[in-house]
Amino acid sequence: MSSLAAVGLALAIRLDAAKYFADGSRAAKAWDWAERASWFAGIASLLIATVAARSATRSMAAPASGKPGARATALPLVRDVTARQALGIHPAIPLEAVAEDRLSAELPLYVPRDLDADVRTALTRMSASGGFLLLVGPPASGKTRCAAEAMQQLLGKWRLCLWSAGHDPNLLVDAGISLRRTVVWLDDLHELFEASAGTVITSDSGGLNPRHRRLTSELIRRLLLPENGPVIFIGTTWPEKRDRFTRPPDAVEADLFADARKVVGMAEQIDVMPVFSEVEWHRAVTLSDGDPRLAEAVQHGQERALPATLASARELIRRWRHGGNPYGQAVVSAGVDARRCGHPEPIPARLLETLAERYLTERQRAAATPEGWFGEALAWACQPVRGDATALSPSGPRIGVTYGYRISDILLDHASSNPHVGAVADGVRRHVAERADVTVCWNLLARAYAAGKLDIAELAGWRGAEAGEARSLFNLAVLLAEQGRAEEAEGLFRRAIDAGEADALNNLAVLLARQGRAEEAEALFRQAIDAGKVEVVFNLAILLARQGRAEEAEALYRQAIDAGEAKALNNLAVLLAKQDRAEEAEALFRQAIDAGKVEALNNLGNLLAKQDRAEEAEALFRQAIDAGESDALNNLAILLGEQDRAEEAEALFRQAIDAGEADALNGLTILLARQDRAEEAEALLRKAIDVGEVSALNGLAILLAEQDRAEEAERLFRQAIDAGKVEALLNLAILLATQNRTEEAEALYRQAIDSGEADALFNLAILLAEQDRAEVAETLYRQAIDAGKVEALLNLAILLATQNRTEEAEALYRQAIDSGEADALNNLAILLAEQDRTDEAEALFRQAIDVGEVKALNNLAVLLATQNRTEEAEALYRQAIDSGEVGALNNLAILLTEQNRAEEAEALLR
């Protein structure tokens, strides 16, 4: 593929994905960084941005020489080693950035275990004479955390020898260093035994002495001698591993664990149960109020397996998203999305199987074994990651009978709350709606409706309705009524009523009331009330109020209030206000406000404004605005306009228009900023600054920067920073970067990062990558990815590609594609083309073209030209030229010249 560069292939790589000006909570208009970025011919000269530098772990080297009895001064104190990774504690559910500072970012609050007393008693006794404590429990049962908590509390001033960090007691002892009052930490003891059994180390090979880097019974006996102690060994292992090491070998197999049996036999063992007792669970529930991670684990912990839930969240998500088994992952995705569609648990296997195929590529479907793929995939999906935590779990009413499968709540919550997972595809919703049992269609309809997928909602509804399912009849009627299909809705409501759905009485009454059929509506409302639907009293009161039957309406509103209907307070107040009973109305409005009815703030403001109580009215309008009542924007603007506070009124009218309040057009007919009328927009922003709107400083600076008025923009950005606008740090850094004031820009980016601006991680990475500081850039890109900046996936992939780390780059490109980064299609195609994987490259270029990536037109043309598919290449070059790709002109001219069509080539270059 080296000939690609020779033809002048313009390989456009986006380096500037996040170089934009941040305006508060949303980004302002992006600068056209493409104009200043250099696009290079050939992949070898691509500018990139990002590489994550992994922090190196330190290993503790023993001194070259030592005196007998010397202290192990190189070893840290127990109290100073609190890092989860150092002790081997599993990562827990992540802590949100907004959590309280008192909480540890690494570890949730510790829930005391019933066995804590036994562990502390043993360690207290061993602190005098030495000993070996071994906690035995399944993975993710909490044994390491339990041991660590006890060690920190009782042995904080002791030294800590971490075998996993390279602290080898063999070397320390041989060097004459005393380990008195030292804890030797042996988390996952079985790994030491298995590593020793599988590796032969000889001094002849230049390696360590055979007994170095091994845990032996000889070493333990030596350190537990009175003259060398006290020394405490604390280890953890799994029950099956302990059994393996203590079980005598078969006659035919080598005795690999002869010494391991001795080591385990020397330990005082305490078993740790993976499931909390009732007392432990009660403690967890009590503590969960103070730690959101515990609260989530308590909510989702199955059978009180709290440690596994805390530890398994990340592993479950990682296994689903990147587990390496596309068929198993497809089954899990099918289960997650079926639940997101509204299918209740358990989910039938037949639905999982047919739905899972949608998540497989054509190649994967073709490679699957028709009779066995689903069973194997299902087994993979049901395998535990830690303890008993599984993505899917079978569910049945009795032994040996499986009705379906349950999906992990952890995965469901992740899919529902993580924007990178994306919404459920329409094809998936339709598939579930078409194949689910009719008894669940009512909920599928409700979920599809909530997602705005009305055609799919109707499909599910009709399936349930045709089967006579009452809830489907009701939900479908609601859907059709909202679409104006009143006649169909009325028929369905009546069928739902006949099927026993009492709520349909109320909804049908509302439908008829809107059609002016008040008498029928009233009869249905009263029928619903007789059926025990107390909330319908409120609706009947509204109907009677509209008919001018104020006395009856008032009585019903008061009845609704007595039944706890807070909305009736506001409605009754409105009714009384119309009757000039202002004092009673005000009292009821204030009761409604106290009950949380924010619309009453706006209504009371109007009432007081009519009484010339302007100051009180303004305060109420502003309170309503803060609560999200857009009506109050317009009303406050009117009030301020009457007081000749024109600038404030103009700003409020503009906000009201943006919120969809058509009435505000009477006060302000044109939104200058929306029309890109820069002079007037600038004037408006300056007025906003004059009245103390500090956010306008940042906005005006952005406007001036786009007009190349950099000096004024810089001054305003600095004013915004002084006023506490964190986003101005990022914007000023971008401005300085364009002026090649890189040192100042870097300092501002770092200041923005410290202030919580995740975008600054990405932008600083770009800046450092352009300075060939690749290692630091990689670290920042990875941090940006962890902070949710999906565009950093693309830039990191580009950076790794320039370092010939193609496998890692390809994986990141694919992750970026999965996250919706269209540019990654073109870039991955380039990477594959370089590897002569031309079929895959062509397919990706065509995908990129389909999503509007015009650069891919030129790149695909270059690829086809190298394959002598000149006719196709020429057509693509011309299409690229028509789309504005200037580089395609030169490439097409080269192609025509090679075909002896020199005149046409010359005409192009003119």
Q: How many of the other CB atoms lie within 10 Å of CB of 391?
A: 29
In angstroms, the CA 828 to CA 713 distance is 38
Measured CA angle at 812 (ends 806, 817), to 5 deg: 125
Give the separation between CA 642 and CA 649, rounded to whole angstroms.
Answer: 9
Under DSSP, the state recorded for 347 is B
The pLDDT score that the predictor gives to residue 497 is 93
- H helix or E strand, kind and range, residue 903: helix 902-909
28 in helix, strand or coil? strand
Q: Given this model, what pLDDT does residue 187 score?
A: 85
Contact 661, 668 (CB under 8 A): no
Q: Tell me the Cα Rg of the chain.
A: 35
Tokens at residue 724, please?
């506490």
**What is the C-alpha separation between 352 and 21, in angstroms, rounded?**
45
* Count of residues in the chain: 910
Rounded CA-CA distance 682/676 in Å is: 10
Q: Are strands 131-136 and 70-71 parallel, antiparallel or unpaired?
A: unpaired
Which pLDDT score, from 0 to 100, does residue 664 have?
A: 56
Q: Output the six-digit token pair for 739.
A: 């002026």
Record the pTM. Answer: 0.43
Of the candidates 180, 185, 150, which has an alpha carbon nearest to the alpha carbon of residue 168? 185
Q: Which residues contact 546 (CB under 8 A, 6 or more apart)?
A: none
Tell me, what's the pLDDT at 660?
Answer: 66
Q: What is the pLDDT of residue 4?
A: 25
What whole-number distance in Å separates Cα of residue 758 and Cα of residue 790? 12
Contacts of 122 (CB under 8 A, 6+ apart): 131, 133, 268, 270
From 21, 3, 8, select the one nearest 759 (Cα to Cα): 21
Q: What is the pLDDT of residue 675?
A: 42
Cα-based angle 800, 802, 807 (whole degrees, multiple of 5) = 45
β-pairing, 131-136 vs 26-30, is unpaired
310: left (phi over 0), alpha (psi -120 to 50) or beta: alpha
Give the C-alpha separation, 833 to 848, whole Å.
Answer: 14
Residue type, 85: Q
**What tokens does 353 get?**
């199987």
Q: What angle do CA 292, 298, 301 make, to 5 degrees?
A: 130
310, 351 Cβ separation under 8 angstroms: no
Residue at token pair 């349950």: 406
- What 3-state class would DSSP assign to 48? coil
Q: Supply the angle between the helices 409-417 and 306-322 in degrees, to the nearest 10.
A: 60
Check residue 466 and give its pLDDT.
93
Calpha distance 768→49 (Å, rounded): 8
Gap between the Cα atoms of 570 and 588, Å rounded: 7
CA pair distance 282, 298, nearest whole angstrom: 10
Q: What is the C-alpha to C-alpha distance for residues 92 and 308, in angstroms, rounded to an integer?
A: 9
Query: Can you give the pLDDT at residue 665?
Result: 43
Q: Residue written as tokens 């690829």?
A: 863
Provide the pLDDT for residue 315: 77
Cα–Cα distance for residue pair 730/761, rounded to 1 Å? 10
CA distance 817 to 422: 12
547 contacts 520 by C-beta, under 8 angstroms: no
| Nearest alpha carbon to residue 573 among 562, 557, 552 | 557
Spans of the chain, pLDDT less than 70: 1-73, 90-101, 140, 164, 194-214, 248-257, 297, 299-313, 386-388, 646, 657, 660-678, 680-681, 684-685, 687-688, 691-696
d(CA 109, CA 102): 10
Residue 671 in contact with residue 679, Cβ under 8 Å? Answer: no
Contact 155, 183 (CB under 8 A): yes
Phi, psi dihedral angles at 71 (to 5 degrees): -80, 150
d(CA 729, CA 24): 11
Determine if the peptide bond prior to 346 is cis (ω within 30°): yes
